Amino acid sequence: MRTAYRTRLVGAVDRDLIRDTLALGAASAVVGLSYGAISVAQGMPAWVPIVMSLAVFAGGSQFLAVSLFSAGNPVAAVLGGLLVNVRHLPFGLAIGGAIGDTTAARLIGSHVLIDENTAFTLAQDRPERRRHAYWLVGGALFVLWNLGTVAGVLLGGVVGDPDRFGLDAAFPAGMLALVLPSLRDRTTRISAVTGAVIAVAATPFLPAGLPVLVALLGVAAGRIAGAGRTTDVSRTSGAAQTSDIDTTAGTDEVAAAGKGATR
């Protein structure tokens, strides 16, 4: 009885996971199409975005590279890509056990490590489900992202200017969708807003690509604001505890005085 129930439960979870993966994969294919079309429109050879999608498989870094390479700033493209992808280090530490035990599994699995399958993996409550979610989401998105890239390269070569179809807005929209849930945190909001203001202000004065790097100063602003808030909370908590102690002491004194008067 329990086995049958557990089988039905696992099947329902797997169906939900497959459904969510397909929806996410469809969105990934559209963004990949945008990437391929924009790359060709920026003057890149058709093979470059295709090889980059296969070898790099990091949407944010790939869009950034296209923008900075086309602006003639390859150094900023490399530095920007490293900074964008440094978040994969804690990702790997958090879900390394779900990837696999063999060297081959870890090598291949590290290549498909992205935000989406990290989130899906951490949402699972059992080791086997974690591994299933990691490989299903990572593999599906890898295939659909690359298919979208190839379609975008072909489409970009036909239409010429993908901006006319609004494909240039797909990447900012996708990045905004990834960022929005994080903005619930006050420190993250301060970092994001400060970084955006710095980038916009620096754009007229710095070469292409550098404003994005300078915007990292927003992280420092968020950290400082977060540290200040923590200090304020600690002081408020300490003051509240002191007040409670004083109140308790006063109550004890009144009680003692009452006992003395009764005697």
Contact 49, 35 (CB under 8 A): yes
Ranges assigned E (strand) in the chain? none
Per-residue confidence (pLDDT) for residue 149, from 0 to 100: 94
Q: Check pLDDT > 50 for residue 1.
A: no
Per-residue confidence (pLDDT) for residue 8, from 0 to 100: 47
Q: Check pLDDT > 80 for residue 240.
A: no
117 CB contacts (<8 Å, ≥6 apart)?
133, 134, 135, 136, 137, 138, 141
Residues 170-176 have a mean pLDDT of: 62
Q: What is the pLDDT of residues 88-108, one digit of tens each?
A: 888 888 888 889 888 899 999
In 42-114, alpha helices (H): 47-55, 59-70, 74-85, 88-99, 103-111
Per-residue confidence (pLDDT) for residue 217, from 0 to 100: 82
Domain ranges of the chain: 2-184, 186-263
Q: Check pLDDT > 60 for residue 50.
A: yes
d(CA 261, CA 12): 72
Q: Check pLDDT > 80 for residue 2.
A: no
**How wide is the angle at C-alpha 38 spanned by C-alphas 203 and 134, nearest 5°?**
100
More confident residue, 183 or 10: 183
Q: Check pLDDT > 60 for residue 233.
A: no
Taking alpha carbons only, the member of 103, 95, 145 closest to residue 122 is 95
Question: The tokens of 91 are what?
Answer: 């990702």
Per-residue confidence (pLDDT) for residue 72, from 0 to 100: 77
Q: What is the pLDDT of residues 54-89, one digit of tens each?
A: 999 988 788 888 878 877 778 878 887 887 788 788
d(CA 83, CA 71): 19
Q: What is the pLDDT of residues 184-215, one digit of tens each?
A: 788 888 888 888 898 888 888 876 666 767 77
Q: Check pLDDT > 50 for residue 18.
A: yes
**Average pLDDT, rounded, for the chain:** 76
Q: Check pLDDT > 70 for residue 259.
A: no
Q: What is the pLDDT of residues 146-159, one digit of tens each?
A: 999 999 999 876 65
Question: The tokens of 15 are what?
Answer: 């169906």
In 112-180, alpha helices (H): 115-122, 127-159, 170-179
Q: Check pLDDT > 90 for residue 219.
A: no
Residues 119-141 have a mean pLDDT of: 89
Per-residue confidence (pLDDT) for residue 88, from 0 to 100: 84
